């Protein structure tokens, strides 16, 4: 019996890993332009909105002051490829990230429910959905973090480039920061990812259960007692959209802190504003206090709008693509 179960478990893990990696790659590539703009906002010490001019007594003129203005600037100075700057390390980060995340998530839900069937996982309590999502997010973050760091550095540098490619950035980080430099900002990232992944997956399951209940109610009235609760592609998209928006809005300040740690002390062309010097922030809480003191509370939400514009469809695309790719792979491999 055990020898029959093992191949099945391995195939299930392969399905989850492949579906997670492919859906993550699709989502990341589609939303890369908004991710680049979000990162430029997050690492800019100067105000990122036109009404922030009151704080220009602390910093110089702002390079980016809005989503449209930033888009025009990047297009004019860097061309279309500028919107996909750092996308290769982003894919190298996000594909294993989503592969690990969905694999660990399915394993945890299988353990909690006693069944490997996806439909049985929806009967888990919301509490277990949130906890499973948080643990899966932590595992995925640790496994893919150096690529996240490289993605941030390449996406934030602009033109002229300080690092022509991922290899040169990697070598310079090792030379100036050591191996530990590849994990700069990991602590605030883990503090962020626990509530973020928990909220994202927990709320997605909650929204999906609510949608299924609505479908049962609707069909029972329209089709003389029928209880069809199948969820359409559009409904899955809405669930992913809502989960992405909710989780990102709640955790954005910690994402800003993470980005600051990731580029702290690294070279950047002066046209992009003040450089974040080494040891500017002594720790996560010190960084939060410093940002609020020098940039106001709005500093913690720099890049929130492009982040929401990106994260909502990114979450929707990821979940919908994962569901369909997973079903397709199951029909082939299981």
* pLDDT at 4 (0 to 100): 45
Between these two residues, 114 and 74, which has the higher pLDDT value? 74
Tens-digit pLDDT profile for residues 86-107: 888 878 777 888 888 888 888 8
For 227-274, the pLDDT digits (tens) are 667 788 888 888 888 888 888 888 888 889 888 888 887 777 777 777
Q: Residue 334's pLDDT is what?
A: 62
Mean pLDDT computed over 69-92: 88
Asked if 299 contacts 44 with a C-beta cutoff of 8 angstroms, the reply is no
Half-sphere exposure of 301 (CA within 13 A, CB side): 10
Tens of pLDDT, residue by residue over 222-239, are 665 556 677 888 888 888
152 vs 52, higher pLDDT:
152
pLDDT of res. 226: 56
**Which residues neighbour 270 within 8 Å (Cβ) at sequence distance 6 or greater?**
none
pTM of the complete model: 0.64
- What is the C-alpha separation between 140 and 317, in angstroms, rounded? 19
Q: Per-residue pLDDT for 51 more than 70?
A: no
Give the pLDDT of residue 228: 62
pLDDT of 54: 47
Q: Which residue has the tokens 């996982």?
A: 121
In angstroms, rounded to a whole number, what is the distance separating the alpha carbons of residues 155 and 231? Answer: 37
Average pLDDT over residues 138-142: 88
Q: What share of the chain has pLDDT > 70, as a percent?
A: 92
Within 10 A of 129 (CB to CB), how many other CB atoms are there? 25
- Rounded to whole angstroms, the Cα distance separating 182 from 198 reads 25
Question: If you average pLDDT over every residue of the chain, what do you get?
Answer: 81
pLDDT for the residue 30: 85
């Amino acid at each position: 019996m055990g020898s029959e179960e093992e191949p099945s478990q391995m195939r299930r893990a392969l399905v989850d890993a492949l579906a997670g990696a492919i859906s993550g790659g699709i989502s990341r590539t589609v939303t890369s332009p908004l991710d680049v703009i979000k990162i430029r906002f997050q690492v800019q010490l100067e105000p990122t909105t036109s009404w922030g001019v009151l704080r220009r007594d602390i910093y110089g003129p702002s390079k980016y002051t809005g989503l449209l203005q930033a888009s025009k600037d990047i297009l004019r100075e860097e061309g279309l490829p500028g919107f996909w700057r750092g996308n290769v390390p982003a894919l190298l980060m996000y594909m294993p990230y989503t592969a690990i995340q969905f694999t660990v998530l399915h394993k945890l839900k299988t353990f909690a429910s006693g069944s490997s069937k996806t439909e049985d996982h929806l009967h888990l309590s919301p509490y277990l959905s949130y906890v499973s999502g948080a643990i899966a997010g932590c595992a995925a973050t640790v496994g893919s973090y150096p690529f996240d760091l490289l993605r941030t550095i390449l996406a934030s540098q602009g033109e002229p480039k300080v690092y022509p490619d991922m290899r040169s950035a990697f070598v310079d980080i090792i030379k100036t920061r050591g191996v530990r430099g590849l994990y700069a900002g990991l602590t605030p990232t883990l503090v962020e990812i626990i509530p973020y992944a928990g909220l994202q997956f927990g709320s997605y399951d909650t929204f999906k259960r609510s949608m299924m209940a609505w479908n049962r109610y609707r069909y029972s009235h329209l089709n003389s007692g029928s209880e069809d609760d199948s969820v359409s592609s559009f409904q899955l998209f809405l669930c992913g959209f809502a989960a992405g928006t909710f989780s990102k809005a709640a955790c954005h300040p910690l994402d800003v802190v993470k980005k600051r740690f990731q580029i702290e002390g690294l070279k950047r062309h002066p046209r992009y504003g003040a450089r974040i010097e080494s040891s500017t922030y002594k720790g996560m809480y010190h960084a939060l206090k410093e940002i609020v003191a020098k940039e106001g509370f709005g500093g913690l939400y720099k890049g929130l709008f492009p982040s929401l514009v990106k994260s909502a469809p990114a979450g929707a695309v990821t979940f919908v693509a994962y569901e369909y790719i997973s079903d397709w792979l199951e029909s082939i491999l299981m």
